[in-house]
C-alpha cells in the first residue's frame, strides 16, 4: 500500500521530457526577452563576496610572493649598484693618479732638458720605516752609473742626495732628513747659508744666521754650487718664518722645501758622466 503511494506520479520519462521542454522554453524566452538577466545579475551579486573570500588566500599568497621577489631583486640590484659605484670610483682615482703621474713625468722631462748636467731618471721603490728618518730607495744603482753623493732633484727643485749605491738600487737621503746639510744662497741678495733637515717634519732649518741678517719670509733659497754636488741655482726652499730673538745670537728660520719631497715616485739623479 505504502509502495503504491510513493510510486504514484508521472513516470521518469515524462518528468525528463517535461523538464527538458521547460529548459528549452526558458532558454528561448531568455534569448528573445532577457527575462533571466535580472535573476542572473542578482545571483552574481549575491555570490561575488563569497568568490572574493574564496580567492583572497590565493591572491594574498601571490602578492606576498611578488613582494618577496621584488624585495630580493631590489636588494640584489642595490648591492650590484654599490659594487659598480665603488669600482667606478676606484677606476676614477686610478685615472686621476695616472694623469698626475703623467703630468709629473712631462715636467721631469722638461726639467731634464733645461739643466746642463746629465741626469738619470729613477723611481722610488720604498722609504725608511724610521719615522725620524727621511731616506728612500730608488731603482737605479751601479748598473746605471749612479755615483755616491749625486744630487737628486724633481721638476721643482732639490730632493736630496745619494747616500749609498748598490748594484741595482741606491739609498737617497732627503733634504728633510735629520741634520742633512744643503749649501744654499738667498736668490734676492746672494747671501750664503746652509739648511738642515728636522727629520720629524717636512720643514728645513736655516741655521747660523745672525738676528740682523738680510733675510725675510718669502725669500727663495737656491743651491750655491759651492759643495761641488749640486749645480748652482737649483730651487731648494722658501723662507716661511723668521724668529729674531735678541736674547740669542742667531735667528730661528724655517723654510718650506721647493721640491715635492713626499710626493710622486719619479726623480732625476744628476750624473757626472758627459752626455753622448
CA distance 235 to 228: 16
CA distance 148 to 171: 9
Residue-level pLDDT, tens digit, the chain, 276 residues: 444 544 566 777 777 787 788 777 767 766 666 666 666 677 777 777 877 787 778 777 777 777 777 888 888 888 888 888 877 777 776 666 666 666 766 766 776 666 777 888 898 898 876 766 788 999 999 999 999 989 998 888 899 999 999 999 999 999 998 878 999 999 999 999 999 998 877 899 999 999 889 999 999 999 988 877 788 888 999 999 999 988 888 999 999 999 887 877 888 898 754 443
> 238 forms bridges with which residues in the sheet?
220, 256
Amino acid 227: pLDDT: 78
CA distance 35 to 29: 7
Backbone angles phi, psi at 228, to 5 degrees: 75, 5
Residue in 265, 268, 161, 135 with CA at minimum distance from that of residue 223: 161
Tell me which DSSP letter residue 142 carries: G
Q: Are 258 and 156 in contact (CB under 8 A)?
A: yes
Q: What residue ranges do the domains of the chain occupy?
A: 119-270
Query: 119-270: what fold?
Result: Thrombin, subunit H (2.40.10)
SS3 46: helix
CA distance 276 to 273: 9
**pTM of the complete model:** 0.60
Amino acid 228: pLDDT: 78
CA distance 75 to 62: 20
Q: Are 231 and 225 in contact (CB under 8 A)?
A: yes
- Cell, residue 274: 758627459
Tell me which DSSP letter residue 143 carries: G
Amino acid 276: pLDDT: 39
CA distance 174 to 263: 12
Q: Dihedral sign, CA of 48, 53, 58, 61?
A: positive
Give residues with Cβ within 8 angstroms of 270, minimum separation 6.
115, 117, 118, 119, 150, 151, 152, 153, 230, 231
Give residues with Cβ within 8 angstroms of 127, minimum separation 6.
135, 136, 137
Q: Are 248 and 211 in contact (CB under 8 A)?
A: yes
- Counting Cα atoms < 13 Å in the Cβ hemisphere of 222 gives 12
CA distance 5 to 32: 42
Backbone angles phi, psi at 27, to 5 degrees: -65, -45
Amino acid at each position: 500500500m505504502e509502495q503504491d503511494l510513493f510510486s504514484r506520479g508521472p513516470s521518469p520519462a515524462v518528468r525528463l521530457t517535461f523538464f527538458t521542454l521547460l529548459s528549452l522554453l526558458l532558454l528561448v524566452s531568455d534569448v528573445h526577452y532577457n527575462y533571466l538577466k535580472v535573476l542572473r545579475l542578482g545571483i552574481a551579486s549575491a555570490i561575488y563576496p563569497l568568490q572574493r573570500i574564496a580567492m583572497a588566500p590565493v591572491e594574498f599568497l601571490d602578492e606576498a610572493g611578488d613582494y618577496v621577489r621584488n624585495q630580493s631583486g631590489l636588494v640584489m640590484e642595490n648591492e650590484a649598484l654599490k659594487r659598480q659605484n665603488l669600482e667606478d670610483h676606484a677606476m676614477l682615482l686610478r685615472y686621476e693618479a695616472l694623469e698626475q703621474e703623467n703630468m709629473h713625468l712631462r715636467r721631469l722631462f722638461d726639467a731634464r732638458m733645461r739643466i746642463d748636467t746629465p741626469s738619470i731618471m729613477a723611481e722610488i721603490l720604498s722609504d725608511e720605516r724610521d719615522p725620524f728618518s727621511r731616506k728612500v730607495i730608488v731603482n737605479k744603482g751601479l748598473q746605471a752609473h749612479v755615483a755616491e753623493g749625486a744630487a737628486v732633484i724633481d721638476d721643482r727643485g732639490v730632493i736630496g742626495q745619494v747616500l749609498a749605491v748598490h748594484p741595482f738600487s741606491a739609498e737617497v737621503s732627503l733634504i728633510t732628513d735629520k741634520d742633512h746639510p744643503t749649501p744654499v744662497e738667498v736668490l734676492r741678495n746672494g747671501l750664503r747659508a746652509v739648511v738642515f733637515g728636522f727629520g720629524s717634519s717636512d720643514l728645513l732649518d736655516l741655521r747660523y744666521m745672525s738676528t740682523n741678517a738680510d733675510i725675510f719670509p718669502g725669500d727663495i733659497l737656491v743651491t750655491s754650487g759651492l759643495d761641488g754636488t749640486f749645480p748652482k741655482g737649483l730651487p731648494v726652499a722658501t723662507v716661511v718664518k723668521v724668529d729674531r730673538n735678541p736674547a740669542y745670537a742667531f735667528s730661528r728660520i724655517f723654510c718650506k722645501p721647493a721640491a715635492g719631497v713626499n710626493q710622486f715616485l719619479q726623480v732625476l739623479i744628476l750624473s757626472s758622466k758627459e752626455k753622448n
